[in-house]
Structure 1
C-alpha cells in the first residue's frame, strides 16, 4: 500500500448573494461545500472573503477573485459581477503574499512588502488620494513608507503592520460609532484618518498580524496575545464596554489559557486558532457564521451580549487543525487537510 498523501480541498459556505462563494451560482449555503477554483493541481497559499466578494492566492502568488464588483473591488479593470474564481493581474506582474477584502474594496500585500488597494474609496478606506472615489485598477498605498508584513480590511477601514512592528489604521468606518461612544471626548486620530495613521498603545509590543471587522480591529502579537479595539455591539471584543477606542488585551483564560497562533475576523464575529490547533469562534451568529449552534435571533446588543453564549469563545471541533481560514462579512472559508490512501 502506498503511503498516505495529503489532498487540500477548498470549502465555502454562508451568504452568497453575489456569487462570492465561487460555486457558479448565487444561492446561500448553510453547510460547507467543495469548490473548484480552476487550478486543482495548485495549492492555495491564502484565502479571503469580503462583503460580497472572495479572493484566493495560489502557491505561485497569483490572485483569483469572484463575487460582487460594482465598485471595482475585484481589481480586474471592470465592474461586472463574477460567480467563479478568475485571475486578477497586478501591475508589474507582482506576486501576492496576502489579500484582505472589505465591504466594497480590497487590500493587497505583495511579496516585496508593498500594499495595493482597489474598489470604493468613499470613506478613505483605500489609503490613497481622496480625489479617487473608486477604482477597478489596484493603486499603491504610497504613504506606508516601509515594508509591510500584514494587512486587513474592515467594512470601511483598513490596517497594516510594518516590518518594524508598527500598527497603522486608515478609513473613517469607525468614526460615527466612536463619536457617539466617546462624546464629549475627542476621537483618536487613528479612527478618523483617511491615510495610514499609527495606532497608539502598541509601541512596546511586537505586532505580527492584524484583522478587522465592520467596526472593530484586532492585532496578534509575537507572544500570542490578541489586542482588540472598536465596536463591541455583538460581543466580538469580549468586553463589558460598548466601544474600545484603544487596543485592549483578550484574557487568555477565555481560550483555555492557550496562546493564539492565528486570528480572523468577519464583520461581527471572530475566529482564533490556538497553539494546539484548536479553533474558537465568538460574536454574532445570525447567519450561522460561528459554525456552531447558538442564538439565531438578532437581539444581541450591548445590553444583552453579556448573557449571550456567543459572546464568549467556544471551540468548533470539526475545524481542528485547519491549514487556512478566512471570514467574509457573514460567511467563512476553510481548508482542512485529509489523509488519502491509494493502491
Structure 2
C-alpha cells in the first residue's frame, strides 16, 4: 500500500521542500496539485516500514507504522515535538494538540507550548478498554479539539466512532444510529434547522437506515449507510456537499455575461413579452443550495457503492468499492487532486490513480489537503 498526498503543503506536510530558487515559484511549493507519493520525499522522523494510517490537521500530519515495531511519526509544523513515538497504536492531531493511544495509556501533547512531557494523560487499566480506543474516542468519552481535553459520553450511546468538525460533533453508535451536537448555524447537525444542541441528539431523518461510518468537515457532515449510500448535510458554500453552489457559479456567470448581453440585443428585435418569459424561465432553472439542514442522498458514482469517506474544512473525498477516488468542494490548494486549482460542486473521479493502474483503498482529508492510499491494480493475463 502506497500513500499519496495533494493540496496544502506550506509546512511540508506532503513532501519536504527544497529551498526555493526564486520567489516566483514559492506558490507552487505551497500547492501540490498532483498526487505525490509520500515515501518518495523522505520523512524527517526515524520511523521505518509501511505507513498504515494517516491523521492530518491544517499544518501537520501523523503517520502510523503499525507493522513490525509500531510507531507514530510527524511531518509538517509539529515535527519539533518528537521524531517518533514507539509503541503508539493510534493518533489524533489538531492545531493545538497531538493525542496518542498506547496499549496502557492515552496522552495529549500541547503543540503550542513545546513541552517535553504530555499535558494530559489517561491510564488504560484493562485490555477491553484498550481495544475500545478509536481516537478521538477514549474510554468513557472523547478527546476534544481544545481544553478541556477530555469530555465524557453517556454509556448508553455505545459509541463506535466519532468525528469532530470545527464547531460540532457527529457520533456513530454500534447499532448504526447517528447522533450530532454542537453548533448548528450551518445546518451541520442535520436536524432540519439551524439551532445548536448541547447534548447528543439522534438525526431523525436517518432512522431505520443503519450507518457504517461518519465523517465531519469544518461545517458539514457525511455518513455512509450499510448499503453503501452517501448522505450529506451542512454548509455548501464551496460545493463541499456535492450540491449546486452559487459561489462556484459566479465565475461562470461572469463569463456568460457577454453572451447574455448579445442575447438581450436580439430580444429587442423580437417580442418583448416572449423574451421576458424566456429570461424568467432560465432564472428558475438554476437552483442553488447554500445550506442543507437535513441529510440528502448524494449519487457519487453510477452503480458504485461508497466504501469510505473523509472531509476537509470545505472539501470531501470518497472511495468507491471498485477503488475509484472521487473528490469535490473547495480546491484552491489542489486538494481535489485533479491537477488544477478549480473547485467543484459535483463529485469527480481523480484520474491519476486510474492512469497509474492503481486502486484506492483509503482516503484521509486534512483541513486543506488530501491523502490517499492505493495499491497496484492486478491485471489479468490473457
TM-score, length-scaled by structure 1? 0.68
Q: Cα deviation per residue 1:104-133 (whole Å; 9 max; x = unaligned)?
A: xxxx135xx76421432xxxxxxxxxxxxx
Corresponding position of 2:362: 324
1:92 aligned onto 2:123: yes
- Correspondent of 2:178 among 167, 170, 179: 167
**1:197 and 2:201 correspond:** yes
1:73 aligned partner: 97
Aligned residues of 1:74 and 1:118 also touching (Cα < 8 A): no
Q: 1:243 aligns with which of 285, 291, 306?
A: 291
Q: Distance in 2 between matches of 1:63 and 1:42?
A: 11
Per-residue deviation at 1:17? 3.9
Q: 2:94 & 2:376 partners in 1: Cα distance?
A: 37
Q: Which residue of 1 aligns with 2:30?
A: 28
Cα distance in structure 1, aligned partners of 2:18 and 2:168: 29
Residues 195-274 of structure 1 aligned to structure 2 (within 5 Å): 195-239=199-243, 240-251=288-299, 254-274=300-320
- Contact 1:65-1:74 within 8 A present in 2 as well: no
How far apart in 1 are the matches of 2:307 and 2:339?
24
Whole-Å Cα distance in 1 between the matches of residues 211 and 166 of structure 2?
Answer: 22
| 1:288/1:264 CA distance change after superposition, 3 Å | same
Q: RMSD of the alignment, in Å?
A: 3.7
Matched, 1:41 2:46: no
Distance 1:96 1:332, change over 3 A: farther
Please name the residue that 2:103 is paired with. none
Quote the offset at 1:282 in angstroms: 1.3
Given that 2:333 and 2:341 are in contact with CA atoms closer than 8 Å, whether structure 1 keeps it comes out as no
Query: Do the aligned partners of 1:65 and 1:88 also contact (CA within 8 Å) in 2?
Result: no
Q: 1:153 is matched with which residue?
A: 164
Instruction: Tell me how far 1:74 sits from its aligned partner.
Output: 1.3
Q: Is the 8 A contact 2:162 2:172 kept in 1?
A: yes
Counterpart contact for 2:181–2:199, Cα < 8 Å:
yes
Q: CA deviation at 1:256?
A: 1.7
Asked whether the 8 Å contact 1:233–1:242 carries over to 2, the reply is yes
Looking at structure 2, the residues matched to 95 and 159 of structure 1 have their Cα atoms a distance apart, in angstroms, of 21
Task: Give the counterpart of 1:119 among 145, 167, 174.
Answer: 145
Partner SS state of residue 373, structure 2 = strand
Distance in 2 (CA, whole Å) between partners of 1:95 and 1:29 is: 38
Q: Which runs of 5+ in 2 are unaligned?
A: 20-28, 79-92, 100-107, 125-129, 244-287, 378-382
Alpha-carbon separation, structure 2, partners of 1:156 and 1:59: 31
Cα deviation, residue 167, structure 1: 0.7
Cα deviation code 1:218-244 (max 9, x no counterpart) = 010000011111111112223332111
Distance 1:214 1:259, change over 3 A: same
The SS at the match of 2:199 is: coil
254-263 vs 54-63, greater mean Cα deviation = 54-63
**Matched length:** 280
Contact 1:63–1:96 (CA under 8 A) maintained in structure 2: no
Check whether the contact 1:151–1:209 (CA below 8 A) recurs between aligned residues. no
Alpha-carbon distance in structure 1 between the residues aligned to 2:158 and 2:302: 35
Following superposition, the deviation at residue 203 of structure 1 comes to 1.3
2:137 aligned residue (109, 120, 143): 109
**C-alpha separation between the residues in 2 aligned to 1:315 and 1:337?**
17
Query: CA separation in 2, counterparts of 1:290 and 1:92?
Result: 39
Aligned residue for 1:303?
none
**Structure with a larger share of its residues in helix:** 2
Q: Which one has a bigger Cα radius of gyration?
A: 2
Name the CA distance, whole Å, in 2 between partners of 1:315 and 1:194. 38
Deviation of 1:29 after TM superposition, in Å, equals 5.0
The answer to whether the 8 A contact 1:215-1:230 is kept is yes
